[in-house]
Structure 1
Amino acid sequence: MPKFLFRNLFLLFIFASATAQEVQTEVVPPYNIKTVSFIQGGNNVVPIFQLGDTFQFQFDDLFGNEANYYFEVTHCDYNWVPTDIPKTDYVRGFDNQRITDYSNSFNTLQVYSHYRLPFPNQFTTELRISGNYILKILNEDREVVFSRKFILYEDHSTVTAQVKRSRDVTNIDYKQNLDFAVLSNDIVFQTPLQNIKILLLQNGNLNTGIKNIPPQYTIGNQMVYKYNKETQFWGGNEFLYFENKDIRAGSNNVARVGANNDIYNSYLYTNLARGSQIYTVNQDVNGNFVVKNINASSNEIEADYAWVYFSLSAPTFRSSTKDIYITGMFNNYSLSPEYKMDYNAEKGLFEKAVMIKQGFTSFQYTIADKKGVIDYENAIDGNFYQTENDYTILVYYKEASDRYQRVIGKGNANSINIIN
């Protein structure tokens, strides 16, 4: 082979390797960034919106110094790899702009700056296509401070779903199975076995979704999924919760309050591991949270922060090599060291103090190994087929001529109506 040809091929390989897009993962916020949330209709929501909807992205900076933050929006494919299309194809206007809507906390012991980023906004007037998006928040040096995923979908297909008990007798009491079908409203599917992809979510948790499940069979323009093992989730247990809307008084699941530090302390009752107990009905909000100060008129800037002291009695996990974390939508189900519990040998309890904005917060105890792999089967609070869970089915589609994957439908199901 001529030397110049070998050299050119080598340079081409190096260039291709350098420009290859990497899978986008969410960057965990630093300690000073709290209460990161997507808001729609005044409530914190799972970040799945119909194309054209309005919503807000909000967060607090505990430094309270009105720092300059910038935002960047990136469109991704089904596997969260950035799509190879110009930004002007999916953003009308500009991103990489400074967040200008912010205000400082008022009448709180913990100072903070509260930031709001609406979509659309004065810079980004429209997100033009459906699909997976990742929103990056940057500092003045254009370094990524943290990032969050969100999904936009179109209404081009009807998704019907039913939650059923497992058909496997070995886990019939512990798992929930999704039976569903996808029917096109106005698209003639081309080679659906290759072009249609599904994402299944339990309680809106993008970290634990089930992917890459092909249709079991097709009936005309309808895709039918009636699997057993492939579309199963562990049932888990109902979320725990606490309420400190009045931060100076004990309330639901708050044993006592204090103010030994510079901010309030909320000491929760000790939770017992529920894995060996029978299932108990406990209405919850499936991991969600509400920021609320009953003595204030503007919760966004008048709700205070408190050190919330969690304690868990789980004797069977004392010798485990795995770690226990406190998770929920309040921290995006993060398995970061900030939420890892420590074992107190004198008390025989797992303990952790976490700074959380006051209101209503639901949470769960999650066990994971050192690599962050969650152990669902041996969950601290057990698995029960009766547990009430929300399920979301998202339908991705890409024709041979398309340059990106669209999300053409969304379906919902709830296990409160589970059947055999």
Structure 2
Amino acid sequence: MNKFIILHIVYSIFSFTLYAQDDYFTNNTFRYDNYIYKENIKTPLTYREGFELSYPFVELNNTDTITFTFDEISDNIENYNYTFIHCNSNWQPSNLSENEFIDGFYENPVTNYKQSFNTLCNYIHYKISLPNENIKLKLSGNYLLFVYENGDKEKPVLTRRFYVVETKTEIVASVKHATQIDLMKSHQEIDFTLHNVFTCNDPFSDIKIVLSQNGRFDNVISNLKPLFIKDNELIYNYEDGNIFPATSEFRNVDAKSVKYQTEHVQYIEYEKPFYHFYLYPDEKRTFKVYFQSQDINGKYLVKNSLGINSEIEADYLFVTFSLPFDAPMVDGNIYVFGALSDWQCKKENMLKYNFKKKSYELTLFLKQGFYDYQYAYMKDGINEADVGFIEGNHYQTENDYLIFVYWHDITSKYDKLVGLKVINSINPK
């Protein structure tokens, strides 16, 4: 039987079980978010060219390139097109026409693609680079890549968020344990100052701040107002309102090679037609002491350690996660969480409870590489993932924090992104 047909049958079994659990997940409407609309699209990545673990932003009118890649599990090359949508600071479409923020053609075909090479799973690898000879962006702000099928925007394939920055202020920031005594051991506080601030009529209403932990969107802090204004500085040194649960260091799975078992891999089996990685059962860390370990802050890196070009030589394989639990949760669900899930709690990454083994379990179909992950709990009716419920919270945890500074100039129709700072809790720069 054709390998692709076998894969589709296996994947459908997993998907059907999860689809049936919550009607919320059946919503497939267009979203101004990182989202995959087509089931066999896998491994979307957005990064600054040459830096695969970078956050997806570039400076306006800079020579840097933003790279978008994704795979389709298929033997066939599809006819895909793409465009870009300018969004405001709340990720809604800006009141701009395309010619105001796009220089070049508004819609372009995806012409950079390659077939997988020497892999058990056949796939097509697609790549888009920005800017290119057909299109570049003229304004700063939030942007959405929109890929669609056969020139029909009613057939979305995927959407990806990214940023274009025109720096107009210097951000000086620090991360420390929370000032509040009851949160001192579990939370991190982000204090910062905007130096050399541009001329602004009303910084309390015209400037918007967004704080993100490791690139997550579900728990951002926004709309902080300056606590003090001093000369040409805006000071945001709060004791409350600028704090995040610190979580714990990420767990990881190293699947760069099918030839040897890495630290967290219990065993590897070839279960025709694909390899299957079975991880050691993870343990709940809610009340464990802090344990320092190296991680990549929830990201993942595609890599076949035996290949030359991992983009097309990294194979796809099944990875099984398990989390022992005495009884299933009755008021929510548990998810494998991180960049591998687009930092979202969705059907594909929700664990199911195995009553026989007294364990939550999930099998994902992943491209070879190195993956960070955590377990997140999503309580029914709540839209923010609670990582600390399973992983615990420790102020010592190494995290990245992204500080976004938006300016809504009264003379313009859009939110400019005039500052973006990435600061690490252990190694501030």
TM over 0.5: yes
1:17 paired residue number: none
* 1:48 equivalent in structure 2: 57
In the other structure, the counterpart of 1:275 is 286
Is residue 171 from structure 1 mapped to residue 179 from structure 2 by the alignment? no
1:298-348 Cα distance to aligned partner (Å, 9 max, x none): 100000011001011233x63442101112112311311111001111111
State the partner residue of 1:18. none
Q: Give the conservation status (yes or no) of the 8 Å contact 2:319–2:365.
A: yes
What does 1:173-322 correspond to in 2, within 5 Å? 173-184=185-196, 187-315=198-326, 318-322=328-332
Moved more, 268-277 or 134-143: 134-143
Q: Look up the match of 2:148.
A: 138
- Structure 1: tracts of 5 or more residues without a match: 1-21
User: Letter of the aligned partner of 1:127 in structure 2?
Assistant: L
Q: Residues 109-146 of structure 1: CA distance to partner in whole angstroms, max 9, x if unpaired?
A: 1110000000012321x211110011111011332122
Task: Give 2:312's aligned amino acid.
Answer: I
User: Residue 397 of structure 2 aligns to which amino acid in structure 1?
Assistant: T
Per-residue CA deviations over 1:57-96 (Å, capped at 9, x if unaligned) read 0000012311111112010111112111221111110132
8 Å CA contact 2:57–2:66 kept in 1: the answer is no
Q: TM-score, normalised by structure 2?
A: 0.88
In 2 relative to 1, CA 305–118 (structure 1 residues): closer, same or farther, beyond 3 Å? Answer: same
Which of these two proteins has the greater Rg computed from alpha carbons? 1
The answer (yes or no) to whether the contact 1:38–1:44 under 8 Å persists in 2 is no
Separation in 1, partners of 2:387, 2:44? 29
- Counterpart CA distance in 2 for 1:222 and 1:258 is 59
Structure 2 unaligned blocks of 5 or more: 1-29
Give 1:245 deviation, angstroms: 1.1
* 2:105 alignment partner AA: F
Is 1:411 the counterpart of 2:421 in the alignment? yes
Q: Distance in 2 between matches of 1:417 and 1:113?
A: 38
For residues 164-191 of structure 1, the C-alpha deviation after alignment (integer angstroms, 9 at most, x for no partner) is: 2212222211111111011136x22221
Relative to structure 1, the CA distance from residue 50 to residue 372 in structure 2 (aligned partners, 3 Å threshold; closer, same or farther) is: farther
Shift, 1:230, TM fit: 0.7
Find the counterpart in structure 2 of residue 36 from structure 1.
44
Report the counterpart of residue 138 of structure 2 in structure 1: 128
Q: 3-state DSSP class of the match of 1:380?
A: helix
SS in structure 2 at match of 1:333: coil
Residue 287 (structure 1) shift: 0.7
Residue number in structure 1 paired with 2:333: 323
Question: Aligned residue for 1:101?
Answer: 112
Aligned to 1:115: 126
What TM-score, normalized by structure 1, do the two folds share? 0.90
| Letter of the structure 2 residue corresponding to residue 43 of structure 1 | E
What letter is aligned with 2:220?
Answer: G
Post-superposition shift, 1:355? Answer: 0.5
Of 351, 372, 375, the match for 1:362 = 372
Deviation at 1:198, TM superposition (A): 0.6
Greater alpha carbon shift after TM alignment, 281-290 vs 324-333: 324-333
Q: Is the 8 A contact 1:28 1:334 kept in 2?
A: no
**One-letter amino acid matched to 2:57:** I
List per-residue Cα deviations over 1:361-414 (Å, max 9, x = no partner): 111111102445235375201111111101111111122212211111122322
Alpha-carbon distance in structure 2 between the residues aligned to 1:357 and 1:380: 26
Return the offset for 1:42: 4.6
Q: Contact 2:58 / 2:163 at 8 angstroms: preserved in 1?
A: yes
Could you tell me whether the CA contact under 8 Å between 2:218 and 2:383 is conserved in 1? no
Q: Given that residues 23 and 79 in structure 1 are in contact (C-alpha distance below 8 angstroms), is that contact kept between their aligned partners in structure 2?
A: no
Q: Closer, same or farther in 2 for the Cα pair 1:132/1:323, shift >3 Å?
A: same
The answer for the alignment partner of 2:11 in structure 1 is none
Q: How many residues align?
A: 394
Task: Write the letter of the residue equivalent to 1:145.
Answer: V
* SS in structure 1 at match of 2:241: helix
- Secondary structure in structure 1 of the residue aligned to 2:205: helix
> 2:7: which partner in 1?
none
Look up the SS of the partner of 1:199 in the other structure: strand
Contact 1:156 1:408 in 2 (8 A): yes
Q: What SS class does the counterpart of residue 84 from structure 1 fall into?
A: coil
Partner in structure 1 of residue 32 of structure 2: 24
Say if 1:384 and 1:147 are closer, same or farther in 2 by CA, change over 3 A. Answer: same
Where 1:229 maps in the other structure, the secondary structure is coil
Query: Which residue type is aligned with residue 404 of structure 1?
Result: Y
- The aligned amino acid for 2:315 is D
2:88 is matched with which residue? Answer: 77
Identity %, equivalent residues: 32
Distance 2:346 2:230 in 1: 45
Given the alignment, which residue of 166, 191, 197 partners 1:154?
166
Confirm or deny: 8 A CA contact 1:23 1:81 kept in the other structure. Answer: no
**Is this contact kept in 1: 2:32–2:159, CA < 8 A?**
no
Distance 2:101 2:358 in 1: 54
Structure 2 CA distance for aligned equivalents of residues 395 and 42 of structure 1: 23
